[in-house]
Amino acid sequence: MSQTLPVTFRVSASSVGKMRCELDVSLEDPAGGVRESWQMATDEGDFHGGDGTAPSPLAYFTGALAACLMTQIRAFAKRLNVSLDGVTIEGAAHWQAHLSGRKPYTTEPLGFDLDVKIDSNASTAQLAELVRAAKKGCFIEQTLSRTNVVNHQLIHDGETIPIKTD
Amino acid sequence: MSQTLPVTFRVSASSVGKMRCELDVSLEDPAGGVRESWQMATDEGDFHGGDGTAPSPLAYFTGALAACLMTQIRAFAKRLNVSLDGVTIEGAAHWQAHLSGRKPYTTEPLGFDLDVKIDSNASTAQLAELVRAAKKGCFIEQTLSRTNVVNHQLIHDGETIPIKTD
């Protein structure tokens, strides 16, 4: 039986201190309400004006990328009857920033690498099939592999204004 | 003076417990070595076979998306001489999963919304310019707005095999 399941996360972020950002994140229950919620914070090192009280946003992003694939490898191993003795992932996320004096800089991604080491009695062909299935089931990888729309609204002085990309 | 700065994060992820994933994440110093490093963990709730000992990968991803924009709004406010009294962001990340019995499921992103509320004496036009600049400077938003390559290798039984997407 085929079925489509919505997966929606919500976040409330507040500016605190110099560059610290405090976050309430929740997973919606498809039946209504909140299924799970978490509190976390980000900060920046002193080279970016912060106090280093928490990981940076990109540290969470890079950790999430590796962990999302890891989770689906483990979840789908059960569905594909593959036994795993241990999985490690070594990954890298490459970006660059284009600086021009004091003006706001621009950024771009250069690429992402994930090396997946699996200890298992399964054949290499079975494990390659498992990793391919995990890529297709990894929400973050599927997001990175296509062009996404990020909608923005600015709320200021009682006005709500859509922000269009140039 | 224009300049291009590489920004590279590395991650080592290990499978622990049922679905817990322990992560060492680091920011490379462009001059060599490690500039900052963090330890963090992810887990899943019991509906996905985990023990709920840590936030899920998508919770970190959603938090990172809001926090990355927040950070650049605050950093670029200084560069654009805009004074901020406080910033909050309410965001949502929408995905769906296509399930078919016990087979590994597939996933896709549906869209991302970020509502940015700014308390400031600046004009709404100045703040809209600030948010537009922050979008262009936000590493995660720039990643989401285009198609990215995620390279995978499987390491098993002494072999290293590139995993191609179907």
pLDDT the model gives residue A43: 98
Given a contact cutoff of 8 angstroms between Cβ atoms, the answer to whether A87 and A74 are in contact is yes
Chain B interface includes A77 (CB < 8 A): no
For B130-141, write each residue's pLDDT tens digit.
999 999 999 999
What is the overall mean pLDDT for chain A?
96
What is the overall mean pLDDT for chain B?
96
User: Whats the size of chain A, residue-wise?
Assistant: 166
pLDDT the model gives residue A57: 98
Chain A interface includes B142 (CB < 8 A): yes
Chain B interface includes A17 (CB < 8 A): no
B67/chain A closest Cα distance in angstroms: 6
B142 CB neighbours in chain A (<8 A) are 95, 106-109
Chain A interface includes B138 (CB < 8 A): yes
pTM above 0.90, yes or no: yes
Contact A13 B102 (CB under 8 A): no
pLDDT the model gives residue B166: 58
Q: What is the mean pLDDT of residues B68-90?
A: 97
Task: Point out the residue among B4, B147, B154 whose CB comes nearest to the CB of A98.
Answer: B4
Q: What is the mean pLDDT of residues B29-35?
A: 93
pLDDT per residue of chain A (166 residues) written in tens, 0 to 9: 789 999 999 999 999 999 999 999 999 998 999 999 999 999 999 988 999 999 999 999 999 999 999 999 999 999 999 999 999 999 999 999 999 999 999 999 999 999 999 999 999 999 999 999 999 999 999 999 999 999 999 999 999 999 987 5
**DSSP string covering chain A, please?**
-EEEEEEEEEEEEEEETTTEEEEEEEEEPTTSSEEEEEEEEE---GGGT----S--HHHHHHHHHHHHHHHHHHHHHHHTT---SEEEEEEEEEEEEEEETTSPPEEEEEEEEEEEEEE-SS-HHHHHHHHHHHHHH-HHHHHHTS---EEEEEEETTEEEEE---
Chain B interface includes A46 (CB < 8 A): no
Asked whether the predicted pLDDT for residue B164 surpasses 90, the reply is no
pLDDT the model gives residue A166: 58
Kindly state the tokens that stand for B125. Answer: 């036009």
pLDDT the model gives residue B143: 98
Task: Point out the residue among A93, A127, A165 whose CB comes nearest to the CB of B154.
Answer: A127
Three-state DSSP state, B9 = strand
